[in-house]
Every structure is written in structure tokens, then in C-alpha cells.
């Protein structure tokens, strides 16, 4: 049983809690956790706040070690953790990005309404499940050789669009245009390459999903209009990442960086925070490999997007364009980005680690797609398969406090093993059907691990980020059909 955290937590206001810098000798900055008070019992139920304090030891960390309200225990960093390090004196840590590099979310909108889709939901879910490979280690329709994989690594989602899997507008509405600069195929191991060759266009397992939703409520009509979202409208959400490719990259570099701490005189309270200076041979190597993993993930979601469009065309006997299937946005979780932020009144170039956190840039930021610039960047916050997901936008306060970052989802409250134990004897498919959700998965275990009770209530999570002022809500979506691995 996980021991409850008993550390020091000071209230700043109703949505922010501080772990003071003097909590542990060696902390360079305080820790700040964003959460409504009613979420604290779940947050301190494991040692994730201790990980927030441990991250504060990283060389070059600036401002605060941060955690979003979906915080829970992770490898090194907590999931929901955010930290920025000065690129001149700071480090990059794979534990601050995670094993599933660029696990992210893409949201599609349609012209369809609930009445159009409900009679066909069972057919749509079955067709999606049959056309998009899901499950542990599951291979896909695409096979890429070493040379072609190098192109995927460098071009990301653009590779997919060039091969007929999507549109130019998809790229314009994807973070970083669907490809990070600095990706280096030479930094990727042969083992990672072997794991990737048949995984493009695959959903994977665990918390990855594809969900057909209905927009239940709109809170910010002006932004919703720009995004193409309307009450009663149908949306589709994709949540997946870099699959075994990203996992192997992280495994490889945790070993490499774990051996260089002494070389750079880095002392940390947790070896899972293995790191190297951003501007060092090892740091540059990891960044190049991490960017390769991120680009693979964007190509992966782009291919899945194409097959979703094909499924809707088959079911409705119309073109995807006539059905109004267009991308709202695609945002990365589990990534490190080199960005400029104001720290103590001056602009500083920092390496922002977002692990189980999403970018949330304010209106007017030049990296936001031009058509979204007046609203702020779209922030996509999936919930669980029985409740809601949300669309929000970033704010100026997020730029000031969290390096333009916000939550990435509901956040687990039960381990997978505990969820399965609680689910024993339950007819989960029937329970989901009673909620009004059709679920298709490779097995009972996946549904049990991902049942609604395993997650925090996403409404509490978004209440915390909007209450703190780091996001502004746009819309709430309710699931109608889900496929999982």
C-alpha cells in the first residue's frame, strides 16, 4: 500500500499550495502544486509531492518546481510535473519528459450532430476498432524501413501528409507544425528503430484511446466559433504517443545520463532524475533523440487522423470534407521544449519540461496558429471514458506563472492493479453502456484499468486550473463511443 505523503504544504490561495524551499536541504526553488482544496487528499495519497520537492534540486531550475492538479506518482518527475531550467547552466532530464515521448491529444470537429450519429454509433465504434490497430505491441498497416524512418523522424506529421495521410491545414493546427527542430536519427538506437518499424498509425494500450464525443456545453462562444465547436456537435479525440519507439529512447538515455552525473558533479535525491547539462554532448544527444520520438508521435497521430476520416466516409457515404471533419488542434504532453520566458523581469531561454502537462500559451503568442491567436492556444484535457473531456485556452497568467503550461487530463487516483481488483465481478461494458457509452477494447483488463473510478474527476481538475487563472474553459464534451487497447 502506498504511504501517504506527510510533508510540509503551505496554502497560497484556494488553488495553489507551496512546498517551501526549506522543506529539504538542497532545494533550489519552492514547489507549487495547483489544486482545489478538495483534491488534496488524493494528491497526498502517494509520494508525488515528494517528487515535486526532488525536482527542485535540478541544477539551473528557475522560478518553481510545478505540479498540475492531475498530479500523481511518476518516474523521477511526478506526472503533472513542470520545470524549466536555464539552458546555460541547467540540465535536461528524461524523467521530466517520460517514457511515452509526446504522448499527446488531437481533437477533430465535425458538422455532425448527436442525432446524426447515435443510430450509427455501434457501427462507427466497430469500424474504428477494426481500422486502427490497438493493444500492446500491436503492429499497424504501415511498415517503414530504416531510410524511411529517418524521414519520419525529421519531418514528423509532415511525412504523413506528404504520403497522403492528411492535409496542410492539419499541420498548421498542430503544435510545432507537427515536427520539432533538432531531431537527430543518428542518436536513436537500433533497438528503438526495430521497435518502431510497424507502429506508425497504431493506438497502443493503457490510457491511450480514441473517443467519439458530443459537445455538451460551451462556455466561451467566441473561441468555440473559431475552433468550430458548437453545442450538440460531434467531436473525435485521439490520445496516443510514440509507442515503443519513444519508450526505448527513454530507456536508452536513462542509462546513459545515469552514468554521467559524477562527470558534471550533479547530486540529486533520486537517481530517477538522471540528467545532463542541456548544453553538453550527452544533453544534446538526448534532446536530438527525444525530438525524434516526438516527431514519430506526431506522424502516428496524423496517420490515425486519416483513418478516422476514412471510417466516417465509409459509414456516412460522404467525403470527410462534406462532413466537416477538420482538426481543432494537436498538443503534446511528455516533451521538453526550448522556449523564451520572462524570469524576474528579463527574458531567459529555458528548457521547459512538461510531463503529463500541456502547453497553454496566451493570446497573441507567435507560436499559436494564426487563426487561434486572438483566443490563446487550445488546451485539450481528456477525462475518463465515463465522464467528460474539456477544451480550454491558455492565458497570460499561465505565461507568468507556469511557463505557459496547464493540466493534461484527469490524472489517475488508483493504480492499474488496484483498479482491476475493484473491478472484479463488474460488468464494465454494461455499466459503460448504461452511461451512454459504447466501449470496444482488446480485453477486460484494459477496461478495468481505465474505468472512471480509477481517475480523478476531471471537472475538479479543470476547476483548479481555471480557478487559478492558467486556463479559460471553452467547451465540455461527453463520450459516446470509445476504443481502447
Residues that are catalytic:
408
In this structure, the chain runs to a length of: 485
The burial class, CB within 10 Å (0-12 / 13-18 / 19+), for 138 is: middle
Q: What is the CA radius of gyration of the chain?
A: 21
Tell me which residue of 84, 185, 175 sits closest to 403, measured CA to CA.
Answer: 84
Contact predicate 336/351, CB 8 Å = yes
For residue 404, what is its C-alpha cell?
A: 505557459
Are 7 and 53 within 8 A, CB to CB?
A: yes
List 326's β-bridge partners, or say none. Answer: 109
**Residue 356 cell numbers, joined:** 503529463
Q: How far apart are CA 15 and CA 181, in angstroms?
A: 35
Amino acid at each position: 500500500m502506498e504511504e501517504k505523503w506527510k510533508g510540509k504544504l503551505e496554502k497560497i490561495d484556494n488553488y495553489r499550495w507551496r512546498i517551501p524551499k526549506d522543506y529539504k536541504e538542497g532545494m533550489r526553488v519552492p514547489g507549487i502544486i495547483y489544486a482545489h482544496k478538495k483534491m488534496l487528499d488524493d494528491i497526498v495519497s502517494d509520494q508525488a509531492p515528494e517528487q515535486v520537492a526532488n525536482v527542485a534540486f535540478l541544477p539551473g531550475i528557475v522560478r518553481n518546481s510545478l505540479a498540475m492538479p492531475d498530479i500523481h506518482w511518476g518516474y523521477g518527475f511526478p506526472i503533472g510535473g513542470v520545470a524549466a531550467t536555464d539552458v546555460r547552466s541547467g540540465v535536461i532530464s528524461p524523467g521530466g519528459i517520460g517514457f511515452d515521448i509526446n504522448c499527446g491529444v488531437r481533437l477533430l470537429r465535425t458538422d455532425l450532430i448527436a442525432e446524426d450519429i447515435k443510430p450509427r454509433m455501434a457501427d462507427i465504434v466497430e469500424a474504428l476498432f477494426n481500422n486502427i490497430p490497438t493493444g500492446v505491441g500491436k503492429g499497424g498497416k504501415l511498415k517503414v524501413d530504416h531510410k524511411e524512418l529517418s524521414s519520419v523522424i525529421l519531418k514528423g506529421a509532415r511525412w504523413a501528409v506528404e504520403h497522403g495521410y492528411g492535409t496542410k491545414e492539419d499541420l498548421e493546427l498542430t503544435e510545432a507544425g507537427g515536427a520539432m527542430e533538432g531531431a537527430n536519427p543518428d542518436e536513436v538506437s537500433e533497438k528503438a528503430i526495430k521497435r518502431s518499424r510497424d507502429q506508425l498509425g497504431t493506438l497502443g494500450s493503457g490510457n491511450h484511446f480514441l473517443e467519439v464525443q458530443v459537445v455538451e456545453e460551451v462556455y466561451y462562444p467566441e473561441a468555440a466559433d473559431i475552433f468550430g465547436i458548437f453545442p450538440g456537435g460531434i467531436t473525435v479525440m485521439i490520445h496516443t504517443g510514440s509507442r515503443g519507439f519513444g519508450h526505448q529512447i527513454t530507456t536508452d538515455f536513462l542509462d546513459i545520463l545515469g552514468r554521467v552525473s559524477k562527470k558534471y558533479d550533479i547530486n540529486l535525491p533520486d537517481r530517477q532524475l538522471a540528467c545532463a547539462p542541456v548544453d553538453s554532448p550527452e544533453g544534446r544527444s538526448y534532446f536530438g533523440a527525444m525530438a525524434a520520438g516526438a516527431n514519430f508521435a506526431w506522424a502516428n497521430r496524423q496517420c490515425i487522423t486519416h483513418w478516422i476520416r476514412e471510417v466516417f466516409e465509409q459509414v456516412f457515404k460522404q467525403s470527410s470534407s462534406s462532413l466537416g471533419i477538420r482538426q481543432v488542434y494537436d498538443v503534446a504532453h511528455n516533451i521538453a521544449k526550448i522556449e523564451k520566458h520572462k524570469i524576474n523581469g528579463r527574458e531567459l531561454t529555458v528548457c521547459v519540461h512538461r510531463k503529463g502537462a500541456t502547453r497553454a500559451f496566451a493570446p497573441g503568442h507567435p507560436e499559436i496558429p494564426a487563426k487561434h491567436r486572438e483566443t490563446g492556444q487550445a488546451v485539450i484535457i481528456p477525462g475518463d471514458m465515463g465522464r467528460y473531456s474539456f477544451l480550454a485556452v491558455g492565458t497570460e497568467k499561465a505565461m507568468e506563472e507556469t511557463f505557459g503550461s496547464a493540466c493534461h487530463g484527469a490524472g489517475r487516483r488508483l493504480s492499474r492493479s488496484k483498479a482491476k481488483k475493484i473491478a472484479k465481478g463488474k460488468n464494465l461494458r454494461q455499466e459503460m453502456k448504461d452511461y451512454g457509452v459504447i466501449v470496444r477494447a482488446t480485453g477486460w483488463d484494459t477496461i478495468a484499468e481505465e474505468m472512471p473510478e480509477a481517475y480523478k474527476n476531471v471537472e475538479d481538475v479543470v476547476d483548479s486550473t481555471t480557478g487559478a487563472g492558467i486556463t479559460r474553459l471553452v467547451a465540455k464534451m461527453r463520450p459516446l463511443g470509445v476504443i481502447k487497447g
